[in-house]
Amino acid sequence: MGFNALNFLAQASGEASHDTFRLVSVLVLSIVLILVLILAFRIQAFVSLLLAAIFVGIASGTMELIEVGDTIKDGMGGALGFIATIIGLGAIFGQMIEHSGGAQSLANGMLKTFGERRANWAMLLTGFLISIPVFLDVGVVILAPIIYALARRSGKSVLVFALPLLAGMAVTHAFVPPTPGPTFVAFALNVPLGYAILWGVVVGLPTALITIPLCRRLGEKFHIKPPSAAEDAEEEPVKAIGLPSVLTILAVLGGPVLIIVIASFVEGSIAARVPEFLATDEGKSLTEGMEKKRSFDSALNELKRQSAVPSQIVLFLGHPIIALLIGTCVAIYVLAMRRGVRGNALMEVATKALGPAGIIILVTGAGGVYKQMLITTKVGDALADILQRSGFGPLILAWVLTTIIRIAQGSATVAMVTGAALISPFLVAGDYSISQLALVTIAIAAGATGFGHVNDSGFWIVNRYFHMTERETLLTWTTLLTVISLVGLGIASLLWMFV
């Protein structure tokens, strides 16, 4: 399929050099290698991405053999310097909310605000907010008892309440940093995290809201009974003290996000002065001999250093690492220490979060290696050359590439990491604004969301906790994810026309 696609692109784009086709053939084979290792041999994605990167380095013929190891080191180091810190802090942040019962508190508060007649809206917004720091599968486990209770009280299908919750969680999990997938994509495409968060909400929230009628229709069509109250009680976590207030959870959740977004606006206002600065003697002297991207970054850093003290304080506090560290410390104090979780118990709660985070950190690091290898070997440039000649836009390309990886191997995070690595050389060759690059991150997120089926762990989490057959899960969960993917891409495409 990959070679057929290349042949189609070649015909659409005219003549291309033999070297270009050879390098793109290496790229296609590396993607095939990733999929074969994961699907046929069940090799962990971290190892599969590293092996594919090594294959690109050797087979491309544009890199000395002794340079392969150093490129792996540089790619891993460049990716993990930012990503590992964000994911590690985000995992602890989410664990504090989970352990304190913050998710249940938020769900209860939303239900009280909207009333049980609009419980589907309450569940959707709860899912959208709680999935910012809490992984989707963990959120399902935490909130399933509330879904069961609503279904028992109303006599309706579990899916009437579960599907809106899942829609909100699925959108945030893929569209809004600091969850691992979109965080890596924003890093790979050089999108400031504040812009990625802002555009993720701007596209993601309407996307989730549009699915409400579909959720209602699917919930009424497939009547799934809730488990008995006795079974539910066995799974519901026991809390030693009362739940934290809804306002507390909203403040803890929204604080870091708000600071990051404000800092992005401040940085954007400074960046608007870069062209004027580059025209001055000081700017010319600073950036002499630099390529366009490096000269812009150097000028921006210089203007930041020259900015007023209040602006520098906002930029300091709003750096994603600083903002998330502050948020994590606040969560530790407010949701753990003030509630009696101290000493070894506090250490265990935080340490528990880092186990799953470690795996994700390594996978995203390997994605950084794969991306770096594509850039260093010029394989990415060859792909960008063909794609530019073909006339396809970056949104569609990003969505298609990521969707193929998602359908084939299942993991949304792996799909986003691989999709970002593939599309980034194409974007470097073009002249795109930050807002346009942020919309490309949405297209990648949308591609990684749709068409989830039996090779996705999320499929089986939903299948188990909401007591569906495989057929029912395909007709509800898979359908919902596919609609989210298409609607997200559609909204991003509409916004593209204005930015």
DSSP annotation string for 282-335: HHHHHHTT--HHHHHHHHHHHHHHHS-HHHHHHHHHHSHHHHHHHHHHHHHHHH
How many other CB atoms sit within 10 Å of the CB of residue 6?
A: 18
Q: How far is CA 389 from CA 32, 249, 292, 401, 426, in A?
A: 24, 50, 22, 17, 11
Instruction: Assess if residue 438 is contained within a domain.
Output: yes
Q: Is residue 351 part of a domain?
A: no
Q: What is the pLDDT of residue 230?
A: 53
pTM: 0.86
- Structural domains of the chain, count: 1
For 343, counting Cβ atoms within 10 Å of its Cβ (0-12 exposed, 13-18 middle, 19+ buried), the class is exposed
pLDDT on residue 290: 80
The whole-angstrom distance between residue 455's C-alpha and the CA centroid of its chain comes to 19
3-state secondary structure of 337: helix
Q: Map tokens 């249940």 to a residue.
A: 104
Sequence-separated contacts (24+) of 34-37 with Cβ below 8 Å? 34/405, 34/409, 34/418, 35/405, 35/408, 35/409
Task: State the number of CA atoms in the 13 A half-sphere of 185 facing the CB.
Answer: 40
pLDDT of residue 270: 93
Question: What is the domain range of residue 100?
Answer: 2-237+358-496
Q: Of 419, 397, 412, 404, which is closest to residue 481 (Cα–Cα)?
A: 412
Answer whether residue 84 is part of any domain: yes
Whole-number Å distance between alpha carbons of 285 and 355: 48
Please indicate, yes or no, if residue 452 is contained in any of the structural domains.
Answer: yes
DSSP state of 468: -
Integer CA distances (angstroms), 336 to 101, 329, 382, in order: 11, 10, 52
Q: Is residue 278 part of a domain?
A: no
Residue of 491, 485, 440, 412 lying closest to 195 (CA atoms):
440
* 350-353 long-range Cβ contacts below 8 angstroms, 24+ apart: 350/92, 350/95, 350/96, 352/95, 353/91, 353/92, 353/94, 353/95
For residue 238, the model assigns a pLDDT of: 40
CA-to-CA dists, residue 74 to 51, 181, 253, 367, angstroms: 16, 21, 34, 12
SS3 assignment, position 89: helix
Neighbours of 273 (CB within 10 A): 14
Which residues are CB-neighbours of 226 under 8 A, at least 6 positions away?
A: 147, 148, 149, 151, 152, 158, 232
pLDDT value, residue 379: 86
Residue 8 confidence (pLDDT): 53
Residue 181 tokens, joined: 């997938």
Residue 109 domain-assigned? Answer: yes
Q: What is the pLDDT of residue 7?
A: 52
Write out the chain's pLDDT in tens, 499 residues.
544 555 555 444 444 556 788 888 898 899 889 888 988 888 988 999 999 999 999 999 888 999 999 999 998 988 788 888 998 999 899 889 988 989 889 998 999 888 878 899 999 999 999 988 887 888 888 888 889 888 888 889 999 999 999 999 999 999 999 888 899 999 999 899 999 999 999 999 999 999 999 999 999 899 988 887 655 544 444 444 678 999 999 999 999 999 999 999 999 899 989 889 988 988 888 888 787 777 888 899 999 999 999 999 999 999 999 999 999 999 999 999 998 888 899 999 888 888 878 888 888 889 899 989 988 998 878 877 777 676 678 899 899 989 999 998 888 989 999 999 889 878 876 778 899 999 999 999 999 999 988 888 889 989 988 989 999 999 999 999 999 999 999 999 999 999 8
Question: How far apart, in whole angstroms, are the C-alpha atoms of residue 487 and residue 499?
Answer: 19
Question: The tokens 């950036």 sit on which residue?
Answer: 287
- At 486 the pLDDT is 97
The answer to whether residues 103 and 134 touch, using CB atoms and an 8 Å cutoff, is yes
Q: Say if 253 falls within a structural domain.
A: no
What number of other Cβ atoms are within 10 A of residue 475's Cβ? 15
pLDDT at 231: 54
CA angle, 302 as apex, 298 and 303 as ends, to 5°? 120
At residue 184's C-alpha, the angle toward residues 432 and 456, to 5°, is 120
**Residue 310 pLDDT:** 94
Structural contact between residues 320 and 193, judged by C-beta atoms closer than 8 angstroms: yes
117 domain-assigned? yes
Report pLDDT for 382.
81
Rounded to whole angstroms, how far apart are CA atoms 442 and 352? 30
Using CA atoms, how far apart are residues 106 and 146, in angstroms rounded to an integer? 11
Q: What is the DSSP letter of 275?
A: H
DSSP class of 430: S
